[in-house]
Amino acid sequence: MEMNGWDVVSLVTVPFINAAIHREGGSPTKMQLSTDTMAVQAEFGSWQITVGGAANMLMFDIPLSYIRGRVTKDRQTIAHFSYQSLAARVQLVLKFVNSKEKSHDLVVDPTNPPTSLVSLMDANGRPLPSAIDKAFITEALTTWLNGNLSEFNHVFASVELDPGVGSDTQWAFCKPSVVVYTYVSGRSLADSYLGILYNTAGRSTPGSVAQIDPSFIPAGCQAAFMLSPTMFITDFLGPAARQQFGIPAQSLKVDTSQLTVALNAGESIPLPEVPVEEPAGSSRVGVLIAEVLQGFLDVAGKAFAHPQKVYKPYLVDLQIAVQNSVIKTYSKTSTIVLDEFYGTVTAFNESESWMTLGLDASRQALTYTNTQPPINNHHTEQSISFTIIQDILQALGIVTIVIAAVLTDGAALLAIGALSGVASGGAQWALASFESDHRNDAPEINNLVSNLTLPVRWSRTGPFATTQAGLHQGGFFLAGTIRQDEKQT
């Protein structure tokens, strides 16, 4: 998802914006123009955004219920015109203005009025039959717009800016520090969007406005928020990997261009120890001794504890890649199972997993799903050739099974860690153990939705209701509807 260096984008559909303009009555309703050569009156319907335009320029249709006027020259009337149900199309530019201490309102820029009309059509969508009348009406409208565009006082959105980062940075990724708007014109109004792009946590503007691809927004959703791939992998997936596997920050490389996280080559990270119960021995004497000891302990009401040997696995390779909507994880461990004077035996486990993120709408909670079954492989290496005795084979089997579970569960908990980080403002659960209490939990997104949507308010509306969430081209999105503010109804 290319966002040209911006952290977050908020998009709403044009029909939503148009409904707000109509509902709030923010566009001019009439026109009175009197100059040395022209006297014109007109009545407007609700101004509406239409298809066309560019990233920083919106196309508006201005419906005229009627327009009539008189043209004079040397104080002599030289022409009259009178029409009903016309539609004038103009291009307008928006801008942010300060409304209070930290709030910035997105409004039409009255200092940048149109110099001409894009088109002027009658009620049937045809050009006016009189070219002279068209010229007079065009002149009248552009003259009036040049001096009265400020009457279009609709507030498209309000953004609370926080230019710095205080001591509490948990929700810093939700706090806009710089903001711009963008417009996405689709083939129809339904797939056209007005958007707000912003950087957070005190980061400055990248100096360019992105033409956002809105294809990530599911059908039926009128609004969406997208966290950039760079933000997702840097602020959530990277920290989740560090916490899950206990990796120091300097040992993990985050590549935002390739959307990958990897353990530095040549480094190894200690993982939780694997205790393996040692057998009594293959000899009959060993078995008899164990049985006698167990008999005495049974009488005493105690259990005989077989001696344990502890094996120490190391994470020697970790590669995480975000591929469109899938998080692919590859991990490899190394565990010395035998280390004696006559040689060593090392067990290697490799695991691959593929996961995607989603939303349980009924619980308003984030979830993960395996897109295909995980793959676990293992092999052993010996320092020299010798016969591996049965005890070592048994330990190898146990270690292999345990480490396979560790890697598979680790990938799952990695996804949960990233999810919890997103849901809780970057504060991942402390996944110090591979047996996490949160293994089956789906992080609730109420705090995320509240903090992410709070700084951006579209057209004096109410809360954002999330219906879908997930990954798209490496970015994380929330999509849904915006409820109308009850105070405005």
**Alpha-carbon distances of 229 from 23, 256, 414, 476, rounded to whole Å:** 36, 8, 17, 7
For residue 440, pLDDT beyond 90: no
Is the pLDDT reported for residue 351 higher than 50? yes
- Taking all residues of the chain, what is their mean pLDDT, rounded to a whole number? 81
- pLDDT computed for residue 75 by the predictor: 85
Q: Lowest-pLDDT range, 122-126, 164-168, 293-297, 335-339?
A: 293-297
Give mean pLDDT, residues 283-290.
42
| pLDDT value of residue 380 | 79
**Which of the residue ranges 129-133, 145-149, 169-173, 327-331 would you say has the lowest mean pLDDT?**
169-173
Mean pLDDT score, 172-196? 89
Instruction: Tell me which of 25 and 483 has the higher pLDDT.
Output: 25
Rounded Cα–Cα distance for residues 97 and 107 (Å): 7
Percent of the chain with pLDDT over 70: 76
**Predicted confidence band of residue 301 (pLDDT cuts 50, 70, 90):** low
Q: What is the mean pLDDT of residues 432-460?
A: 67
Can you tell me the distance from the alpha carbon of 339 to that of 382, in angstroms, rounded to the nearest whole number?
Answer: 10
What's the sign of the alpha-carbon dihedral 197, 198, 199, 200?
A: negative
Q: What is the band of 485 on the pLDDT scale with cuts at 50, 70, 90?
A: low
Query: Would you state the pLDDT for residue 338?
Result: 75
Termini Cα distance of the chain: 37
| Separation CA 320–CA 429 (nearest Å) | 19
Q: How far is CA 31 from CA 39, 87, 175, in A?
A: 11, 14, 41
What sign does the CA torsion over 399, 402, 407, 408 have?
Answer: positive
- Band the pLDDT of 139: cuts 50, 70, 90: very high
Average the pLDDT over 265-284 and give the result: 71
SS3 content of the chain, % helix, strand, coil (to 5): 25, 40, 35
Q: Mean pLDDT check: name the lowest of 192-196, 248-252, 479-483.
A: 479-483
pLDDT tens, residue by residue, 46-62: 999 999 988 889 999 99
User: Once rounded to an integer, what is the mean pLDDT over residues 311-335?
Assistant: 91
pTM: 0.80
The string of pLDDT tens digits covering residues 234-244 is 888 888 888 88
Q: Do the beta carbons of residue 59 and residue 49 sit within 8 Å?
A: yes
- What confidence score (pLDDT) does residue 392 get? 55
pLDDT exceeds cutoff 50 at 451: yes
Find residue 465's DSSP bridge partners: 481
Task: Please tell me the distance from the alpha carbon of residue 417 to that of residue 434, in angstroms, as a whole number.
Answer: 12
Q: 258 by DSSP, 3-state: which? A: coil
Pair type for strands 94-98 and 48-54: unpaired
pLDDT class of 426 with cuts at 50, 70, 90: low
> At residue 51, what is the residue type?
V
The pLDDT assigned to 130 comes to 94
Q: What's the half-sphere exposure (Cβ side, CA atoms, 13 Å) at 200?
A: 21
14-48 pLDDT, tens digit per residue, is 999 999 999 999 999 999 999 999 999 999 999 99
Per-residue model confidence (pLDDT) at position 319:
94
- Picking from 272-281, 324-333, 374-383, which range would have the lowest pLDDT averaged per residue? 272-281
Domain ranges of the chain: 26-153
Of the candidate ranges 82-91, 180-189, 328-337, 457-466, the one whose mean pLDDT is the lowest: 457-466
- The larger pLDDT score, comparing residue 285 to residue 371, is at 371
Q: Report helix, strand or coil for 420.
A: helix
415-443 burial, b at 16+ Cβ within 10 Å, e below that, comes to bbbbbbbbbbbbebbebeebebeeeeebb
What pLDDT does 433 receive? 37
Higher pLDDT pick, 160 / 399: 160
pLDDT for the residue 408: 60
Give residue-wise pLDDT tens across range 216-231.
999 889 999 999 999 8
Residue 295 in this model has a pLDDT that exceeds 60? no
Quick one: pLDDT at residue 457?
Answer: 87
> Crossing angle, helix 390-423 and helix 446-453, to 10 degrees?
40
